[in-house]
């Protein structure tokens, strides 16, 4: 089990080492999606600002991961 997790982490770090800006770009897309959802239709996602919060967390994790790699 430990070898599988270690191998998975190696694959993920190898993937993001080449694409350091991918997570912050996805986060920016999620924040913009949240902005436009507020205008389109009132629903649970727009009322709770779900994509805004998820995008901010993803952006912070993406920047920290890019800095570490």
pLDDT of residue 59: 93
Q: Are 64 and 24 in contact (CB under 8 A)?
A: no
- Those residues of the chain that have pLDDT short of 70 are none
pLDDT of residue 8: 87
- The count of domains in the chain is 1
Domain span holding position 41: 2-68
Residues 39 and 24: their CA atoms lie apart, in Å, by 24
Percent above pLDDT 70 for the chain = 99
Question: What is the chain's length?
Answer: 69
pLDDT of residue 46: 76
What is the reported pTM?
0.77
Q: Are 24 and 59 in contact (CB under 8 A)?
A: yes
pLDDT of residue 30: 95
């Amino acid at each position: 089990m430990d070898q599988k997790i270690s191998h998975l982490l190696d694959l993920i770090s190898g993937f993001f080492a080449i694409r350091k800006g991918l997570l912050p770009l996805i986060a920016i897309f999620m924040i913009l999606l949240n902005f436009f959802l507020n205008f389109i239709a009132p629903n649970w996602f727009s009322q709770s600002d779900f994509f805004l919060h998820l995008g901010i967390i993803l952006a912070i994790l993406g920047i920290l991961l890019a800095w570490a790699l």
